[in-house]
Amino acid sequence: MDGPASAMTSRPSIEMPPLPFDSLESFLTGAAQWIERSLPDYLPRGEPAAFLYDLARDYPLRGGKRFRPALLLLSAALAGGDPARALPSAVALELFHNFALVHDDIEDGSEMRRGRPALHRAHGVALALNAGDLLFSLVHQALLDNGRVLGAEPALEVNRRFAEMFRHTFEGQAMDIGWIRTGHFPGREEFETMIRLKTGWYSGRGPCQVGALIGGGDPALIDTLGQFGETLGIGFQLRDDLLNLVADSADTAPGVLSGGYGKERGGDMAEGKRTLIVIELLERLSEPDGHTLRGILSKPPEDTTPQDVAWAIRQAETTGALDAVRLHCAGLGRRAGELARKLPQSPQQQLLEDLSRYLILERGS
């Protein structure tokens, strides 16, 4: 494939081994293999390789847990459908996730991603931004294959739901960035709105509902799966926020059921992120220490020192803020389990329970 449009043609059918549903590890491994075998067909090669196509391939090929597309495939199977029919949508979701990571790293000034320097650190903001934009265009390229796989009307409905997911994700991201820009520290209600929009949708509700729609699920099933997915997505993000402060694995890329956190420890503090940990911490600190924390979180990332980050982490540990968020995660894990148990009993339903337990309660523990 030599030209810049070499991967823009219709995709051939790819023979995939059946997805195993006997255990969480085997399912996630199988789903990741489906995605990893399919991704290269949606990632163009050609010129300008060094300035665009190599950069766009970077994040998707660094690995990761691939749990979002796995959740979409699992939901399609739970609804009684053939998960292979959901593969273009699952690939589209993984491409959107990687687009979001590229842009999110730029917006947050992040240093590391999946155990290696963030794309904009390695290649500069302008080229990284452009490569991220290409990834977003490839999302739509993947979704076009739904017309062939699902038929015109179902493909349009999947597109509509992806568009809704995109919009909510960008709304949540705008709040997250805007609070830092304006020096605003949100209350709990504001934070819950932000995380539901930014993470609850594209890390949970969206994948579950799109998968169930493709699988032929009825409205009640799609609604319950959506509630489950939103709870899962929020719990996953809060667990990530905890790992950012307690896991020292910046040089280790995350894998399906192994590997490190893949980002610098305390990066959220350096970037001034308004997490639930920060809300819990500000409620517990004395007025002078609260003023100090706000000052640290209001600094540009490049002005935040390792001593600043270490102080903030120590306060989160000693005040009980981390324990409070762990308890909140436990509650979300129980809620996700309750919602999963409302679904029809099947191997796929059991895997949803197992996945929620792993992502919210056990990962990195």
Question: Whole domain around residue 295: which residue ranges?
Answer: 24-362
| Domain tally, the chain | 1
119-134 pLDDT per residue, tens: 999 999 999 999 999 9
What is the model's pLDDT at position 217? Answer: 98
Residue 94 lies in a domain: yes
If one counts every other C-beta atom within 10 angstroms of the C-beta of residue 134, the result is 18
Q: pLDDT tens digits for the chain (365 residues)?
A: 344 444 443 454 557 899 999 999 999 999 999 999 999 999 999 999 999 999 999 999 998 899 999 999 999 999 999 999 999 999 999 999 999 999 999 999 998 998 899 999 999 999 999 999 999 999 999 999 999 999 999 999 999 999 999 999 999 999 999 999 999 999 999 999 999 999 999 999 999 999 999 999 999 999 999 999 999 999 999 999 999 998 765 556 676 766 555 667 899 999 999 999 999 999 999 999 999 999 999 999 999 999 999 999 999 999 999 999 999 999 999 999 999 999 999 999 999 999 999 999 987 65
What is the model's pLDDT at position 1? Answer: 36
Residue 108 lies in a domain: yes
What is the model's pLDDT at position 261? Answer: 55
Residue 334 lies in a domain: yes
CATH number of the structural domain spanning residue 66: 1.10.600.10
Residue 39 lies in a domain: yes
191-227 pLDDT per residue, tens: 999 999 999 999 999 999 999 999 999 999 999 999 9
Residue 17 lies in a domain: no
Axis-axis angle for helices 219-246, 206-215 (nearest 10): 150
Residue 141 lies in a domain: yes
Residue 19 lies in a domain: no
Residue 59 lies in a domain: yes
What is the model's pLDDT at position 363? Answer: 75
